[in-house]
Structure 1
C-alpha cells in the first residue's frame, strides 16, 4: 500500500473519532435517562454506580496507557488493542441499553447490579479505545502544520458524531427501542473503525528501544510540570463544554422562556456552527506557535460566553450560541497539538515512546472535570435558592445566567491564566514529515 495517499491521512484518521464518538455521546447523554427515568433505578443507586465508575476510570486509564506503550507486535503497538476492542465495545454498548425486562420488577438490587457491571465493562473497553486512538495522533502526524490540520478535521468529525448521537438517538429509541438504537450505533462504530484502521499504519521503528517500568514511567510523568499544568488548565475549560450543554435546557426555560421544542435550535446554533469554524481556526493558527495558539483559543472561548448573559429571546440565544461555537471550535482544535509537542519533548529527554501513558493520564484529568461542574451547580444553587424544578427559588433566571455565562467565564479565566505557566523549554516545533498527507 506504499504510495496510497489515504494511508495515515488526517481524513482517514478522523473516522476513528467519528466511530468512537457516536456511541460514546449517545451513552453519556442517555444512559442515566434510560436507567433512572425509564427503568426506575433509584437516583441514589445511580449516583453510587457513578462514583464506582469514576474510581474504576482512575485505575484503568493509566494501566491501559502503560500496557499499550509496552506492546510490541508486528501489527504495531496500538492497532492490536483497537482491533480487539471492536467486538467488545459493540457488546458492552448493547448491554448498557438492553437490561432484561424482568429486572425492574425484581427489585433494585438486580437492576443496580446489571447497570454497574455494564457501566464498568463499557468504561474498560472505551478506555482502551480512547487511549490507543489518542496515542496514535503524535506518531502519525509528525509536523506542526499537519498536526493542526489533522486536529481541525478530527474535531469537525467529532461534532458530526455529537449531532448524530444527540439528534438521531431519540428518533431511534422512540421508534425501535433502546436495544435497537444500540445495535444501529454499534454497527456504525464497527464500519467506521474498520475504515479508520484499514488506512492506518504504524511506524515499525517506534516499537523498538528500551521500555520504562511501571514505577519509572509514572515517576517521569509526575515530574513533567508542563504536562500537568497544561492538563489542569484544560480541565477547567473542559468543564465549560459540559456545563454549557447541560445548562442549555434550563437557559431556554428560565432565561429565554422558550418551549422545549426549540431547545434543539439552541444546541444546533453552537454545535453546527463549530463545523465550519474549525476551518477558520485552522487558518488562524497554522502560522502560529502551538502554545500561543492554544492560549489564544482559551481567551476567545472566555470572551465568547459573555453574550449568553444578555440573551432575552430565541434569536438572541442563537446569535450568542454561534459566538460560543467560535470559541469552542478553537478549544477543540488546539489542545491535541500542544499535547503532541509535550510528548515529543518527553521522547527527546527520556528516549522512550510513551504516548499511551500520557494520553491516558490526560484523559483521566479531563474527564474528572465533571466534578468541577457539579460543585459549581451546587454552589450557585445555594447562593440563588434554586433547588429543583419544583423549588426554583425566587430568581431562577439569575441562577442560569450565572451558570451559563459567569461561571464559564470564571473557569476559562483560570484556564487562560494557568496557560502562561506552560513553558516548553527547548520546544522546537517539528517540520512536517508526512509528504503523503
Structure 2
C-alpha cells in the first residue's frame, strides 16, 4: 500500500523549504555581503547581475525544454533534481566564502572580487535554474484543479515563509557567530537533508512520460504565442522585483533609515515573514472564493498599498508595525499566482495534447527572474542619484536612498503590475470562476 506521504502537499512543501532557506539567505544578504561588507562597487555588482541575466535568458528555456523531453523510469524531473543537488550546495558555499586575498582587492580596483562574484553568481544561478525549473513544473503536473492547486500552493507558501524567516532572521545570528562561510555550510547541509527527504516521496505521474514531446521550434512557438502567459508573467516580474527589494534592502534600511543595530535586523525581518505563515491560509480562502484571476489582481493591489507604511516607520517599533502590514500583501502575492499559472498550463495542454510544464515554468521563470535586473537597476539608479556607492562610501543621505528603495519604488512597481494585470483576458472568465466556486 503506497505511503500517504507520496506526492502529498506537505512533502512538496518541504522541497520549497529546502530550496528557499539558502536562496533567501542569498537574496537577502549577497548585496549586503559584497557591497557593504566587502566594498564591491554598486556599479560592478549591477554589471555582474546583468551578465548573469544574459546567461539566464539562454539556459532557462533550454532547461525547461530538455526536462519536458526527458524520459526515464524515475520520471522527467527527478533525475535533474538529484543531479543538481551537490552543485547547488557547493556553489552556495563558494558565494559566501570569499578568500581574504580576493576581498582585499575592493580597496584598490576591486576586479578580483568582481570576477569572484560574477563566476560564483553564474554557477549558483545555473544550479538554481535546474532545480527551480523542475520543481516548479511539478505543481501543475501533480495537482489538478483550482482547489488542489490552491491548497498545495498555500502549504507550499507556508513552508516558504518558514524558510524565508530562517533565511533572513536567523542568518544574521549565524554569520555573526560563524561568519558568512560558516553560515553557508550550515544552510547547504540543511538543503541537502530536506531535499533528499522530498525526493524520496516524489512519484511522477506515468502518463506525463508517455506523451511524445513537441519538436523544439513547435514547443517554443506555442509558448510565445500565448498572450495571457506573457501578460501574467510580465505583471509578476514587477511584483517579484518588490519581493527582491524587500529582502535585499532590509539590512540597509535597518542600518541607515531606522538606525537600529545589526543585531536587531532579525527582529525586523521576523516582523515581515512570521505573520505571512498564518496569512497564507487567509489568502487560500480568498483564492477559493474569488478564483485565480480576481484573487491575483486583488493581491497585487493589496501588496502595493501595504508597502506605504515602510516610508513613515521610525526605529525598531515602527519598523516592526510596518513589517507586519507589508507581510499581509506579501502573503497574497505568494499564494495566488500558482492557481492562475496552473490554469494557463492546462489550457495549453488542451490545445496541444501535451503536458509542457517545464517549458512554461522555464520561460515564465526567466520573465519573472528578470526582476533581478530591475531590482539591481533600481538599487544602482537610486544609489547614484542620492550618492550611495558602497559601505565604504555611503554618501550624504543614505537614509533617503533606502526609504525610496524599500517603499516608494515598490509602490510604483506594483502600480505597473496592477495595470498590466488588467490586460489579461480569458474567454469564459466569469463562467470559469463560478465553476471554481461550485467545485469548492
Q: Which one is further off, 84-93 or 214-223?
A: 84-93
Given the superposition, is the C-alpha separation of residues 159 and 97 from structure 1 closer, same or farther in structure 2, using an over 3 Å criterion? Answer: same
Counterpart Cα distance in 1 of 2:123 and 2:132: 14
Q: Which residue of 2 aligns with 1:132?
A: 134
Q: Distance in 2 between matches of 1:117 and 1:313?
A: 38
Match of 2:153 in 1: 151
Instruction: Say which of 162, 185, 207 aligns to 1:183.
Output: 185
Q: CA deviation at 1:30?
A: 3.6
More deviation, 7-16/46-55:
46-55
Q: What is aligned with 1:435?
A: none
Selected match of 2:342 from 340, 343, 352: 340
Count of aligned positions: 428
Query: How far off is 1:19 after superposition?
Result: 0.8
What aligned pairs does 1:71-110 form with structure 2 within 5 A after superposition? 71-99=70-98
Residue 276 of structure 1 is matched in structure 2 by 278
> Are positions 1:235 and 2:237 aligned together?
yes
How far residue 70 of structure 1 moved from its aligned partner, in angstroms, is 0.4
Aligned to 1:201, what secondary structure does the other structure show?
coil
* SS across alignment from 2:424: coil
Once residues 225 and 160 of structure 1 are traced to their aligned partners in structure 2, the CA distance between those partners, rounded to angstroms, is 34
Gaps of 5+ in 2: none
Residue equivalent to 2:395: 391
Partner of 1:359: 361
Q: Does 1:371 align with 2:370?
A: no
Aligned in 2, Cα 1:41/1:265: closer, same or farther, shift over 3 Å?
closer
Find the counterpart in structure 2 of residue 209 from structure 1: 211
CA distance in 1, matches of 2:246, 2:38: 27
Quote the offset at 1:220 in angstroms: 1.3
Query: Which residue of structure 2 aligns with residue 168 of structure 1?
Result: 170
Q: Secondary structure at the match of 2:239?
A: helix
CA distance in 2, matches of 1:379, 1:42: 13
Q: 1:321 to 1:65 in 2, by over 3 A?
A: same
Query: How much does 1:100 deviate?
Result: 5.4
Report the CA distance between 1:380 and its aligned residue.
4.7
Deviations 1:181-214 (A, max 9, x none): 3332222111111111111111101112231222
TM-score, normalised to structure 1, is 0.88
How far has the Cα of 1:392 moved from its partner? 2.6
1:378 to 1:100, Cα distance in 2 relative to 1, 3 A: closer
**Aligned match of 1:326 in 308, 315, 328?**
328
Give the C-alpha shift of residue 317 in structure 1. Answer: 2.8
Q: Which residue of 2 aligns with 1:404?
A: 406
**2-structure distance, mates of 1:220, 1:115:** 37
Structure 2 distance, partners of 1:255, 1:97, is: 26
Structure 1 residues 118 and 406 mapped into 2: Cα distance closer, same or farther (>3 Å)? closer
User: Where in structure 2 are the equivalents of 1:50-89 lying within 5 Å?
Assistant: 50-89=49-88
| Deviating more after overlay: 183-192 vs 49-58 | 49-58
Cα pair 2:80 2:134 within 8 Å, conserved: yes
TM-score (norm 2): 0.87
1:315 corresponds to which residue? 317
Higher helix share: 2
Q: Indicate if the aligned counterparts of 1:152 and 1:282 stay in contact, CA closer than 8 A.
A: yes
What secondary structure sits across from 2:289 in the alignment? Answer: coil
- Match in the other structure for 1:28: 27
Displacement of 1:260: 4.3
Give the aligned partner of residue 264 of structure 1: 266
Contact 1:95 1:118 in 2 (8 A): yes
Alpha carbons 2:28, 2:249 under 8 Å: kept:
no
Gaps of 5+ in 1: 433-437
Q: Aligned partners of 2:274, 2:200: CA distance in 1, in Å?
A: 29
How far apart are the structure 1 equivalents of 2:16 and 2:35? 29
2:306, 2:420 → 1: CA distance?
Answer: 19
User: 1-side partners of 2:312 and 2:47: how far apart?
Assistant: 38
- Contact 1:342/1:424 (CA < 8 Å) preserved in 2? no
Aligned match for 2:201, one of 199, 202, 205: 199
For the aligned residues, what is the CA RMSD? 2.9
